[in-house]
Each structure stands twice: as C-alpha cells, then as structure tokens.
Amino acid sequence: MILFLLGLRILKVVNALVSPDGTGRLPAMGWNSWNEYACDISEDVFVRVADLMVHLGLKDLGYQYVNIDDCWSVKGATRDNVTQRIIPDPVKFPGGIRHVAEEMHARGLKLGIYGDAALGTQTCGGYPGSLGYEEVDAAAWSEWKVDYLKYDNCNIPQEWVDVPYMYPDNGGRPDGPVPPGYDWSTSNSSARYNRMRDALLAQNRTIQYSLCIWGHANVAAWGNATGHSWRMYSDIYPAWAGARQGSQALMPILNQAAFYWNVSGFWGRNDWDMLEVGNGNLTLEENRSHFALWAALKSPLIIGTKLDAISPEILAVLKAEEIIAFNQDPVYGAGAMPYRWDGVGNDTHPADYWAGSSSRGVHVFLLNTEEVERDMELVFGEIPGLQEQQPSVRRGPYLVHDMWTGKDIGVFSDSAVLRVKRHDTAAVRITTAN
C-alpha cells in the first residue's frame, strides 16, 4: 500500500491535492499567452518567451510555467479519428505540443495547456472541449509532457448548468438547479471539474490543475478538493476601474477579493486572473498596485504581457523580489486581509489597507484609490497579525521596511505616515525594531 501511494504523483488528501514534489503548494508563477496574444500564438511565441524568461532573470525569481491558452488546436469538433485526441494546429505547432514541452524543459521551465469542460466543439474560442473526453485528453497531455492545465468554463451543455451563484451569469441561458442543501460540492460544475481532476490524477505525471470557473457554483467552497487554484471572477482587462463586455478592471476585481480574503491557503487558492502588468494604458503606479495586491492575495502570478521590448520599469515591477517572497512564503499560506476602508468599499474604492503575515514579519499594503497623491496612515494597534500572531513583532517600536526598494523607512512607536501616489500601493514589512 505504501509503495503504491509513493508511486502516485499527486494525492487527494482530505480536501486538497497534495504532491510530494510540492507542485501546487504555493501560487503558480509563470506566463500565459491570452492577455496579449489571444489566438495569435505559435511554437515560436512560446520558445521566444521561454528564452526571455531565462534571459530577463524571471525564471530565477520563480516564474516557471509557460502556458498556452486557447486556440492551440484544429478548430471545430475535430478529433483524431483513431485516437480521439485533440489535434494540435499543424501550422501554429508544427512539431506538436510535446516538442514545445521539451523546449521548455530544456530551459528548466514547464509547459501549461488549456482545455474547456464543454462538449464537442466549444472552448471559449470555439476549439474542441473535453467534457466526455477527460481520460483521452489527460492521457494525451501527460504523454506530451504537459505540466499545467487551465480548464475553462465556456459553452456548458444545458444539462450541466448550475445556478451560477455569482457573477458572471450563464450568458443568457436559463439557470440550472441549485444542489440539494446548497452543497455546491455536489453541483454540476463541481462534477465537471472533478472528472478532469480524476483523469489527471490517473496519469503518471504531476499536472498542476487550474480551474477557470469564474467563481461559478460557489467554487470557493469546494475548489480546494478539486484543483490548485480557481478563477473567482470574470476576465480581467487592463484598466483601473470599470467593466467592459463582461470583463472587469482592477478595482472591481479587488473589491470582490475583499469578500473572499480568507479562502486561500497552501495547495489551493483563489485566482483573480492573470496579470495585466505592462498592458493597456495602466500607469506605472497602477501596474505596481496590480502586482502588489495580486501577490498579497496569493493569487497565481501569471505574467500576461509581451516580454520582447518590455520596459525596464515594468520588468522591475514583475521582479519585485520582496513582493514575490510574500506571495511564495513557505510558512504562511494565507493571503492578506483587508482591515481598513477609508472610502466606502466599492468597485472604485475597494479596501485601502491590507495586511498579512509571512516568515519575515507582518506586511501591509496601502492602496491609494484616490485621484491625487495622499498621506496614508499605519496605525500599529489596528494591523491584524502584529499584535496576535508573531511574538517576534508583538511589541513596538517597529521597524518599517519598504518592500519595493528593499530599504528601511524608519522606526516608529504608535503609527507612521506614508505618502502614496495616485493609484499606487505602498508595500511595507513591519518587525520589532531591536
């Protein structure tokens, strides 16, 4: 029995997917093609990205997954007549997916692929879905040496639809049933995603499993038993506030996250969608806030920008070592919690002050949602974790350290005032001063 268990790559232990090599214990870090390339992808794109991840020092900081998103296969309901497998697009991927995986592995990186829990023809982009073909597809991905699966939620057949429970809705379709006793772990959505989980677990390969389920069917309540991360909201787009064709800007997503701060931990976490750092017209301060807060939430850190000709300022944001260290802390699995609202707490002015503990101290993220630079106040007595959790930082005076610059700001007794630019986020670490 023990030998049998040791042979397994990932074990479903109580309510989490645990693997001996640690895959999925911490938030995934990597790069994904969707936000900047959409369907305009090819083997060349991924190999070039892989080279740049090494060359720019991103790999050394922990970014390791290079993830293919939608549109990698032959479009429509096309599967191989004999094997029933999805067919990689021969123009975009002339060497097949396995060849791309080998290129990644040769650089010390890993490869991710994309699928959709839908029937027949329909990923979100209209490529073959995997519902009913879970074993076939998981076996193919495993044989192709894929290391990560993002599994999407478009075009669900009516008999598999649930009441969505939370935005976005079912795209105009009638809602499905609510599960008995409102136990969402028995919902249709949970069943669809568990089928792929079981197919992946049956492979002789460790594949990180990322549920792209947009918060549907209250996934926060059961995602941990199914995958390593679960998308909590609609697609992100690179703007500070507002919504566009069902996609949400940064502040609405953060406001949503404020209500789910206590869900994430080791082996499973909320996914607030891939990073838009470097995209659209986000200012440098907005890019900094985006990165710092997604890291603070312990969301996966999946870069979504073009790496060729990336500006030094944007690269520096993605390489902010101490911010990454908070996200990847080996001792504290929980994300930061909101603890102070200077505004009302809405889609324009979500929580301003977030705090979380790491093995290095207590960290506070101070977000300025106002349109002007302003003073923000660190009041030590109100910071969660500072008083209760860590004996080493229980008593003041406190040393306040800037996680962006890596420099100490100063020693303070009761409070400190920090000047924060419009839409910027100050990120500090607090420890006892002596």
Exposure string for 182-212, b = 16+ CB within 10 A, e = fewer: eebbebbbbbbbbbbbebbbebebbbbbbbb
Task: State the Cα–Cα distance between residues 134 and 217, nearest whole angstrom.
Answer: 21
**Is 21 annotated as catalytic?**
no
Give the one residue of 36, 43, 69, 89 binding ligand GLA; rule: CB under 6 A.
69
H or E element that contains 286: helix 284-296
Contact 373, 407 (CB under 8 A): no
- Judged by CB under 6 A, the residue of 27, 112, 115, 125 near ligand GLA is 125
Using the minimum distance from each CB to ligand GLA, give the nearer residue, 125 or 129. Answer: 125
Selected binder of ligand GLA within 134, 235, 271, 286 (CB under 6 A): 235
Q: What is the dihedral of CA 254, 258, 259, 262, to 10 degrees?
A: 120
- Among positions 43, 152, 276, 286, the unique one binding ligand GLA when judged by CB under 6 A: 152
Give the residue at shortest CB distance from ligand GLA: 124
User: How many of the chain's residues bind ligand GLA (CB under 6 A)?
Assistant: 8
User: Whose Cβ is closer to ligand GLA: residue 179's or residue 300's?
Assistant: 300
Binding flags for ligand GLA, 180-219, as an x/- string (CB under 6 A): --------------------------------x-------
Closest CA to 111 of 150, 138, 78: 150
152 catalytic residue (yes or no): yes
Q: Is 231 helix (H, G, I), strand (E, B) or coil?
A: strand
Radius of gyration of the chain (CA): 22
Q: Which of 16, 17, 31, 70 binds ligand GLA (CB under 6 A)?
A: 70
Nearest to ligand GLA of 120, 265 (CB atom): 120
- Residue from 194, 335, 170 nearest 259 by CA: 335
303 by DSSP, 3-state: which? strand
Q: Is 42 exposed, middle or buried (0-12, 13-18, 19+ CB in 10 A)?
A: middle
Q: Which of 58, 86, 124, 292 binds ligand GLA (CB under 6 A)?
A: 124
Tell the smallest beta-carbon distance from residue 207 to ligand GLA (Å): 17
Smallest gap, in angstroms, from Cβ of residue 55 to ligand GLA?
Answer: 27
Q: Minimum Å distance from CB 120 to ligand GLA?
A: 16
Using the rule CB under 6 A, is 34 a contact of ligand GLA? Answer: yes
**Among the options 89, 147, 152, 352, which is catalytic?**
152
By the rule CB under 6 A, 63 interacts with ligand GLA = no
Q: Are 27 and 328 in contact (CB under 8 A)?
A: yes
**Cα separations (Å) of 215 from 167, 183, 221, 256, 366?**
7, 15, 10, 10, 26
Residues that bind ligand GLA (CB under 6 A): 34, 69-70, 124-125, 152, 212, 235
Tell me which residues are annotated as active site.
152, 235
